[in-house]
Structure 1
């Protein structure tokens, strides 16, 4: 059973003005906000927090969700657009970010910030809020050690290098958050073994090593981040018989913006500091709550490390095994040559070994989800917006920039609500906890509301990183392309022109953060917006308020821009009588996906994709006719034909799920762009033509179902 505060709907909303922080004007948006300015508000912040901790009476969520009478429109769309584009404030975004980054908020630590968020939403004027708690198995580091040893003297091995496993933040960064170096859902283990350098840790990299007669079994692998997900690196190493794995961010990831190319490291320049460590989970939404993931043959101890800690290890491989330059071209490009690293692959000599000690616990802890609701006059069409609060470290980019932007979205809609606006469709705002350990907050909420979601959810709109650089990215299902294009054309970019002008309108494969379980489990259309999907402080202790204020988004313009785009997508989906959707956009995208698969098939392989292309053509033709019919209905508000059209639009995405997974898109982080039709693609990639044929037939049938759904 889920609960909502009984005082939420009856609370008198407090009028919120768009005032700046003390001593700051709206003309100061191009400059960083002094930390002292924000610190002066800390007393008020803690008072609000104390109020939020008070006990409230509770009543069931579902009865509250469906009990209220229908609301009627009271504000023209143009007026709503004006509010949503004018209300988000740089100073407010900075204030919210300062709060969220001021204390550790790993999964399981989010109660205080959750209650604060709920209280703020109520103060803004959101008519209904609630907090939903779940128990989850949370990865917790106990002890981590990495040491390079010389065991020539077996009775008294000497330590050549002891890894620091921690960042060295600038002296003027006041952040006190120091998250240990660990992988979420990693296995406990204490192994001492020879080691190898295995490039990106892919199957093909281990194939290359074996072709060079490099022994892998019983070794520890050192691998670069990139190319494949970190969890795949661990599982592949385990399957290959390795006993441990280290992941690190090579300067290769950063292109030319490195110390090796003459740039100074942060805070003196834009390059990645050598002590930066990228943490992260190696589990998925499917196994997040399984407890200790140690499974013999499938899981091995792992640690994330900085390239500062890796350099002595890679130098210890000099002269042992072939160089990367003697491997395939995929092994080239490493960025540590300026540090004297020649990228020998090893293995290390028998007496030069690594001790990798990773001790984890998996206590059960509560994770706290905050929901806000503005009811619409249509109760069976719902738009959901969400972001996760939990972060690795301070998390100014991931995910506090998204949390700050969500605060501005909620505040903007609350302003419109107080002005008299009531949405056509219900809008639900969600502040999740537990995404960084496998969406252990959003996933159980989705599972608990699955029939309702599959009946009513128009879309789930997610943001993880609202601002960390200037590059805009959208991961989305193509059915949302029309409304995303409209919103990005309506919002000005901080660089001049519109967001669309700089972006160009290309969508990448859907997924990202809490959008993953909405897409995979509930088969709901999703989007994930970001300015800065790839940025070097990601999941490190460098991702602080100071970094964001001085480097990531000085002036906080991109936080504000994301809030505006996010708000307008929501408004256009909520307010248009006929949903702002084009089914044909999905079919057009599918044609491109099949071409990508065709281009990836080796010339020596014979596989006929024409049946799949025929199904897509059928879907495209039916969709084009259906879209034209939907457009012809105009803006008649109470037309039963519009309701039926919208229900068909809503159900298109549902057609593409099969046995608990999406057929078009795979699990993917917000920064990645994996191949579409993943089961078909990977079957062909592995040469299993029988399996590929099976998946093509399944996919073809589901696309035909979508065509039949929209046929008139």
Structure 2
């Protein structure tokens, strides 16, 4: 949930009830406990912080350690100015008739606990593959996060079993159980901030282990790194991969069972973040045999072991090039809705298309060189693996997106207008959003040109990282 930071009159508050047709109600399904729809008295929980990747709102950009300087509550990043309380849609009908209430809130700093386990690599111990998911929940968390936490535990158990048989991964595997995800991704973000320098130098990939199931239709594996049987797509935000991918530029991915999005149009799953999200819900309606959870564990675990044990990293720059081409055309088509303004203000996407073409050629040449690589030479293997590992970092702009300094990925990040859904070329997209309703069109079209130039430079610079060393 995202609530604007208002400058309120005295003693305001917001009572929040989401539309049943959009969020709760799957057609033909009974409310819980007779089915998996949300009852009218149930409410979806969530935080209303407006952090934009800042982590702890009192220590934006830095780990919230004992020695860290903290802003006071009035200066904190993204803290709402008014209290917000969620209610069910049946309650909303009654409260809309007449509302009277007393509000009591208490802000306090509380210690949180991340749990980190490391399995040292045998050949490249300074290269880290991370599997992380959170364990805190709104109420019981039968799906979010327990289904994901169970997958992490099972992956740890499997790794331990292999270790006792004498196996050890080529690269170091890091298992992470994050705290305070529901309060704004705090646990994972603070750990990323504390270890940012090490992670930027050593992290190969981050695989997210949040909710393992949100439907029964198909198991989908989405990564930004490509390669193998999984696809490159826009990750968006709203889960613990955010700081690693969008801020630090570490390749990331996730896998889960999802619904048929063509026929099931409701958001997430109906009892999401409610008191009805229980173990019984999963056992009775979503996965009675637990075969779906097992499949997700096998896919997530398979990704981790593939990334940790392959001699050459299973990352595909050519697939990335294909995605860049597709998304460049998508953002250009969005601009073409304003053909007259493009001509009037001299806006062109040619530099972006040229940069994407350069990247495509560089990626093709890079993979052709891999075919002649001497895999018995550890130096050559290490060099090409480093090029693949650091490719995602090349898409990070240290200055960040406009107004969002902790969102630094130029290709994939949430739009400022939708913080859950991913957007391609978010800087350009946000500059084009609502451009027809701006009071100063020249200034906004200048911003579009600036964002196109940043994107073109970034893609061209990423292509340079794939060229042979001088």
2:269 to 535, 539, 547: 535
1:671: Cα distance to partner?
Answer: 10
Pairing 1:633–2:376 present: no
Q: 1:359 aligns to what?
A: 104
Residue 465 of structure 2: aligned partner: 709
1:528 partner SS: strand
Say if 1:639 and 1:287 are closer, same or farther in 2 by CA, change over 3 A.
closer
Change (3 A) 1:506 1:649: closer
Tell whether 2:391 aligns with 1:652.
Answer: yes
Deviation (angstroms), 1:675: 1.9
- In 2, the alpha carbon distance for the partners of 1:623 and 1:252 equals 45
Q: How far apart, in 1, do the equivalents of 2:415 and 2:183 lie?
A: 14
| Aligned partner of 2:411 among 646, 664, 670 | 664
| Partners of 1:583 and 1:623 within 8 A in 2 | yes
Q: 1:240 to 1:691 in 2, by over 3 A?
A: farther
Question: In structure 1, what is the equivalent of residue 426 of structure 2?
Answer: 678
Counterpart pick for 2:46 among 280, 286, 297: 280
Q: CA deviation at 1:281?
A: 1.3
- Cα distance in 1 for partners of 2:411, 2:152 equals 28
Q: What value does the CA root-mean-square deviation take over the aligned residues?
A: 2.9
Distance 1:368 1:693 in 2: 44
**Residues 258-337 of structure 1: pairs in structure 2 closer than 5 A:** 258=27, 263-283=29-49, 284=51, 285-286=53-54, 288-290=56-58, 292=73, 299-314=81-96, 316=97
* Match of residue 643 from structure 1: 382
Residue 270 to residue 542, structure 1, CA distance change in 2 (3 Å)? closer
Q: Find the counterpart in structure 2 of residue 203 from structure 1.
A: none
In structure 2, the residue corresponding to 1:509 is in which secondary structure?
Answer: coil
Corresponding residue number in structure 2 for 1:614 = 354
1:439 aligns with 2:185: yes
Quote the residue 1:191 is aligned against. Answer: none
1:511–1:527 contact (8 Å) kept in structure 2: no
Question: 1:387 pairs with 101, 109, 133, which one?
Answer: 133
Structure 1 residues 288 and 359 mapped into 2: Cα distance closer, same or farther (>3 Å)?
Answer: farther
Q: Judge conservation of contact 1:475–1:510 (CA < 8 Å) in 2.
A: no
- What is the CA-CA distance between 1:580 and the residue it aligns to? 0.6
Give distance in 2, aligned partners of 1:416 and 1:668. Answer: 42
| 1:279–1:311 CA distance, 2 compared to 1 (3 A) | same
Q: Is the counterpart of residue 693 in structure 1 residue 449 in structure 2?
A: yes
Task: Tell me the alpha carbon deviations over residues 533-571 of structure 1, each in whole angstroms, 9 at most, x when there is no partner.
Answer: 821111111111111111122111111111100111111
Query: Structure 2, unaligned stretches of length 5 or more?
Result: 59-71, 260-267, 400-405, 436-443
Q: Contact conserved, 1:469 with 1:553, CA < 8 A, in 2?
A: no
Structure 1 unmatched ranges of 5 or more: 1-229, 317-352, 486-504
- Indicate how the Cα distance of structure 1 residues 422 and 545 shifts in structure 2: closer, same or farther if over 3 A, else same: same
324, 341, 365: which one aligns with 1:605: 341
Shift of 1:644: 0.4
Of the candidates 227, 234, 237, which is equivalent to residue 482 of structure 1?
A: 227
Structure 2: distance between partners of 1:595 and 1:236:
35
Alignment partners' CA distance in 1, 2:239 and 2:204: 18
SS class of match (1:385): strand
Match of 1:623 in 2: 363
Per the normalisation by structure 2, the TM-score is 0.82
C-alpha distance 624-475 of structure 1, shift in aligned 2 (>3 A): same
2:171 counterpart (425, 437, 442): 425
